[in-house]
Amino acid sequence: MAKINFGGVVEDIVTREEFPLEKARQVLADQTIAVIGYGVQGPGQALNMKDNGLNVIVGQRKGKTYDKAVADGWVPGVTLFEIEEALEKGTIICYLLSDAAQIELWPTVKKYLTAGKSLYFSHGFGITYKEKTGIVPPADVDVFLAAPKGSGTSLRRLFVAGKGLNSSFAVYQDATGKAREKCIAMAIGVGSGYLFETDFYKEVTSDLTGERGTLMGAIQGIFAAQYEVLRENGHSPSEAFNETVEELTQSLMPLVAENGMDWMYANCSTTAQRGALDWWKPFRDATKPVFAQLYNSVKTQAEAERSITLNSQPDYRVKLDAELKEMADMEMWRAGAAVRSLRPENN
């Protein structure tokens, strides 16, 4: 593994140079990789693995998503099957149903996990919370995860563009002595850039914190707060949206992605630099207690409990859609739709 210094802490990283695609192909040559579920991660991972020359089949129940798999080029009876058939044919089972659905389908999956097969996850959820999920794999199968750090949609887009999303990987159970190399080969196969090692507990704990925090929950909260203050003080929706979201996503975050926050700062006015240098600490101090509360809620499994309970209800989709619509209907995001429609490339 490559030793990389991350801001003073040296970590072991797996890169595509030391574990090239060719090696992944060799490790997985005799495997039938069955991707179970074709939601968000399913398509990204399955298509990337197929394009990487791996032997992939998809298992998906009939319906709209099955039709999408057909439209993506999976052939019924050849590379696309009902879930149980794919479970039977697969030697590496990629369990890519939603975390709640994994609980429901587990008794079925377990039946097909015969000795020597592998069970692959993209999240530490099912295993870490096994008291709640009931997901306890047989002792004679390998169990590991590769978790792309981003949406399955981005995983596919970046792969097609010749780039790669970073993923974490972890081995939970090594029954064959080959779990680790299979795990790394899968992580490379799904189109990862570089890989960093973790364990199932740390993966799920950091992931749940991140998505509830800066990646999704906190960012929406901070956007809403600033937008509201601007509006309450007489600024127009377009002005409030541009100063809260549009400039960030279109201009400033790409600079952060390219060269870091200091470089983005360095490319803004001295006036902006002065103010932003003064204000980031009060924002940190105001939000840190909320992040501590969030981490605790993840650690005590309150977040897992809530997610399992609410996402397992039969009407969860209807309720979810209603909540997402409520967000879409916020003035801020309706203003955003108008702003996006005015981008030159959308005209």
Ligand X SMILES: NC(=O)C1=CN([C@@H]2O[C@H](COP(=O)(O)OP(=O)(O)OC[C@H]3O[C@@H](n4cnc5c(N)ncnc54)[C@H](O)[C@@H]3O)[C@@H](O)[C@H]2O)C=CC1
Site of interaction with ligand X2X (CB under 6 A):
149-151, 207, 211, 215
Residue with tokens 């879930």: 83
Q: Which of 175, 249, 185, 224 is nearest to 330 (CA)?
A: 224
Q: Which of 27, 49, 86, 96 binds ligand X (CB under 6 A)?
A: 96
Degrees (nearest 5) of the Cα angle 95, 172, 292? 90
- Cβ atoms within 10 Å of 249's Cβ, excluding its own: 11
- 210 near ligand X, rule: CB under 6 A: no
Which backbone phi and psi does 142 adopt, to 5 degrees? -80, 140
Report in angstroms how near the CB of residue 149 gets to ligand X2X at its nearest: 6
Residue 37 in 3-state DSSP?
coil
Query: Which of the choices ligand X, ligand X2X, Mg ion, none does residue 101 contact, using the CB cut-off of 5 to 8 A by kind?
Result: ligand X
Q: Is 243 annotated as a binding residue?
A: yes
Question: Residues 33, 90, 112, 123: which is the catalytic one?
Answer: 123
If contact means CB under 5 to 8 A according to the sort of partner, which of Mg ion, ligand X2X, ligand X, none does residue 1 touch? Answer: none
In whole angstroms, the minimum distance from the beta carbon of 341 to ligand X comes to 26
Which three-class secondary structure string do you get for 64-75?
A: HHHHHHHHCCCC
Tell me if 131 sits within 8 A of 105, measured CB to CB.
no
Is 18 annotated for ligand binding?
A: no
Residue 267 CB: number of other CB atoms within 10 A? 14
Tell whether residue 207 is among the known ligand binding residues: yes
Q: Is 12 annotated as a binding residue?
A: no
Number of residues near ligand X (by CB under 6 A):
23
Q: Alpha-carbon distance 156 to 309, whole Å?
A: 30
- Pick from 57, 86, 105, 190 the residue near ligand X by CB under 6 A: 105
Q: Are 237 and 337 in contact (CB under 8 A)?
A: no
269 annotated to bind ligand: yes
The listed partner (ligand X2X, ligand X, Mg ion, none) that binds 42, CB under 5 to 8 Å by sort, is: ligand X
CA distances 31 to 53, 188, 270, Å, are 12, 15, 58
Q: Which of 1, 21, 23, 39 binds ligand X (CB under 6 A)?
A: 39
Minimum distance from residue 212 beta carbon to ligand X2X (Å): 9
Distance in Å from the first CA to the final CA of the chain: 48
Tokens 């309150």 belong to residue: 302
Q: Which residue has the tokens 């052939």?
A: 75
Nearer to ligand X2X, 114 or 151 (CB): 151
Rounded to whole angstroms, how far apart are CA atoms 197 and 320? 33
Give the residue nearest to ligand X (CB). 39
Shortest Å distance, C-beta 345 to ligand X: 25
Which C-beta is closer to ligand X: that of 148 or that of 336? 148
Q: Are 196 and 11 in contact (CB under 8 A)?
A: yes
CB nearer to ligand X2X: pick between 223 and 241:
223
Residue number with CB closer to ligand X (121 or 227): 121
**Taking CB under 6 A as the rule, does residue 99 contact ligand X?**
yes
- In terms of CB distance, is 134 or 150 closer to ligand X2X? 150
Q: What share of the chain is helix, strand, coil (3-state, %, to 5)?
A: 55, 15, 30
Considering beta carbons, is residue 211 or 262 the nearer one to ligand X2X?
Answer: 211
Q: Give the chain's count of helices (H) and strands (E).
A: 19, 10
Options 12, 82, 104, 323; binder of ligand X; rule CB under 6 A = 104
Whether 235 sits among the annotated catalytic residues: the reply is no
Annotated binding site: 207, 211, 243, 247, 269
Interface residues with ligand X (CB under 6 A) are: 37-42, 60-61, 65, 96-99, 101, 104-105, 122-123, 125, 147-148, 151-152
Catalytic residue list? 123
